[in-house]
Each structure stands twice: as C-alpha cells, then as structure tokens.
Amino acid sequence: MDNTILVVRIVNGKDAGEFTYFDMKDVNFIDLWSPKKNYRVPRFHTDDGEFTVLLTLEACEKAFAFLTPLDSGNLVNLGKISYATEKFNAITVFFPNGSSTSVAKYKRDLIHQHIKKL
C-alpha cells in the first residue's frame, strides 16, 4: 500500500499554494487547523513543516493539471470518459464504474465525440 499523500504547505498560518507529497510515516502529529472561521481541517506536522489537505477545487486544478474543468464544480480526466449523453440541453459524462458528472454547454466541444445518440 502506498503511504504517500498529496498536501499543501502551510506557512505563517496560511496555505502557501506549494504542493508536495510526503510519506505518512513522516508525520509527527496531526491536529485541527482553522484556515477560516468555523472551518477546521487536518494539519500534518512533520520535520519539514506543516501541511494540510487540498481545500478547494481551485487548488485541485493546480495540483492535478491533467484534469479538465467541464463544469463549475468538477475536474474530469477526459481519457477516462466512457460515453456522454445530451438530454434537454443537459450534458452528462459517464465513467467505466458507472459514475457521472455534468458538462457545461460551452464545454460540449471538449467531449462531443463521446456523446451517444439516444
């Protein structure tokens, strides 16, 4: 089992936007950190500094540059799409495991080759 985790560095109490991987065995301890009021997330303390999990889709988009935003709330691996459907101006892409996500109309050109005629 791979014990590495993708994290973002915390500098002076703020998300520094610097992504890295570390081995979970390098963790000295974990506590809760409040990046904003009424919001607490795990903070990992290591000999190399403090880190937290990716907190936003924007951070994920930077860290996973190979994923494409197809709607305002998703990032998609275009190579994993099995097929897409278009019904009543709603476009949906489907993956091998049966999961699905939405596609904004203006992103249709990115997935048009996957659309099944119904």
Q: Domain boundaries in the chain?
A: 4-59, 66-114
Q: Which two tokens stand for residue 117?
A: 């005629």
Helix (H, G, I), strand (E, B) or coil at 8: strand
The ranges of the chain with pLDDT < 70 are: 1, 117-118
Give residue 117's pLDDT: 64
Q: Which two tokens stand for residue 90?
A: 């709603």
The structure's pTM equals 0.80
Helix (H, G, I), strand (E, B) or coil at 1: coil
The model's pLDDT over 55-75, given as tens digits with 9 standing for 90+, comes to 889 999 999 999 999 999 999
- 43: which strand partners? 31, 52
